[in-house]
Chains A and B, each alone.
Chain A
Amino acid sequence: MLTHATVEESQKLEAVRSRLMEGQRSRGSLIPILQTIQKEMGYLPAEALDLVAGLLNISAGEVYGVASFYNQFRFNPPGKHQIKVCLGTACHVRGGDIILENFERKLDIKEGHTTEDREFSLERVACVGCCALAPVVLMNEKTHGYMSPSKVEGLFTQLEIAKKKSESNKTDGSE
């Protein structure tokens, strides 16, 4: 359920911690503190919940209770490629859930999770406002309309190609 911070992130968290120690430390500042941490880290790792609990002298469970109530707080790191599958009415009717399932199978993660290598994170969103293109997928804020299982494959192939290209460019540059 909760993701543990990497070594790098722990250092980042330490930096945020010293900043928070100077600010408001009452129960009422719980949400602003969580927002500050998420802004800094991109998500709330398990260690962050313990940190906030320590700051405000409440139980980490209580912090989780509040944080898990709000959609804006996430407990898994955003991937390098954030995939958002639209499941609004139009996309739902035109098989958005099939597209979501395609991504789930391809990445071997459930909706709302992040791949082990933090390359991809998968989310469902309510409506991205271009129903005429249903079913829609957002990949890092780029919109892909009229999605189909074959197009899902196509997206990954494109990423593979782009990756290979940048790698070969790197090796060319170093020579």
Chain B
Amino acid sequence: MIKLYIDNWEIHATEGISVLQAALDSEIYIPNLCWVREMTDPPASCRLCFVEIAGRPAPVTACTTIVENDMEVHTDTEAVRELQRTSLKLLLSAHHVDCGHCPANKKCELQNLARFLKVKLKPAEFPTYQPTGLIDTSHPHLDYNRDRCVLCGRCVNACRDKNGRPLFTFAGRGSETIVTPLFPPAGQALDKDASLVCVDLCPTGALTRKG
């Protein structure tokens, strides 16, 4: 067991886990989006879980930092919150904010993050997302709506970790990146349950169950 301090609370954590997991297990909330519990190799792509660690020159991402003995972590400093707010604003500027028509309304993690960080859903300093109208209905169990997708990669990375092979992949590049479902080679059955696990992982309303 390792003893560390998060926001001046003494925390005991198993060796080898990340600061983010240690904090969440001790009911100290650090904003996060692309991280999923039991992830072997967190992508650290959402840039929301910044924390300050005593002795380090700049804030670090909590999901990729492994706990150490007597570590002193601060989750609520001005520098950290500023970074988190900017990251969230950038994410929202790549998201078609139309909560009234979205199935994820009221259970959307972007809404929760915005409430927690006190960020407007349509930040004034970034242009708002122009919807493409792209909806992929090729999958038998789910639909994918590009305009709601913030490319957090949960469905790509977590499914690969859980099932040993990905059920989704990124396609395209830059602002035209989309998530594409992967179909097994002809003759093999598509795992319905695993696909629906990915739907449940989606923080927004981008992946929705059919019907």
Contacts and interface: CB of A to CB of B under 8 A. Distances in A.
B173 to A, nearest CB: 5
Interface residues of A, number: 12
Contact of B166 (A60, A62, A69, A70): A62
A65 B181 CA distance: 10
Nearest to B173: A69
A53 B180 contact: no
A65 B180 contact: yes
A61 B172 contact: no
A62 B169 CA distance: 6
A49 to B, nearest CB: 11
Contact of B182 (A54, A57, A59, A68): A59
Contact of A53 (B170, B173, B185): B185
Contacts of A64: 171, 180
**Main secondary structure on chain A at its contact with chain B?**
helix
Interface string B149-174: 00000000000000000100111110
Given A59-B169, A70-B173, 16 more contacts: A53-B185, A54-B185, A57-B185, A59-B185, A60-B183, A61-B171, A61-B180, A61-B181, A62-B182, A64-B180, A65-B170, A68-B172, A68-B173, A69-B171, A69-B172, A69-B173
24 contacts: A53-B185, A54-B185, A59-B182, A59-B183, A59-B184, A59-B185, A60-B183, A61-B169, A61-B171, A61-B182, A62-B166, A62-B169, A62-B182, A64-B171, A64-B180, A65-B169, A65-B170, A65-B171, A65-B180, A68-B171, A68-B173, A69-B171, A69-B173, A70-B173
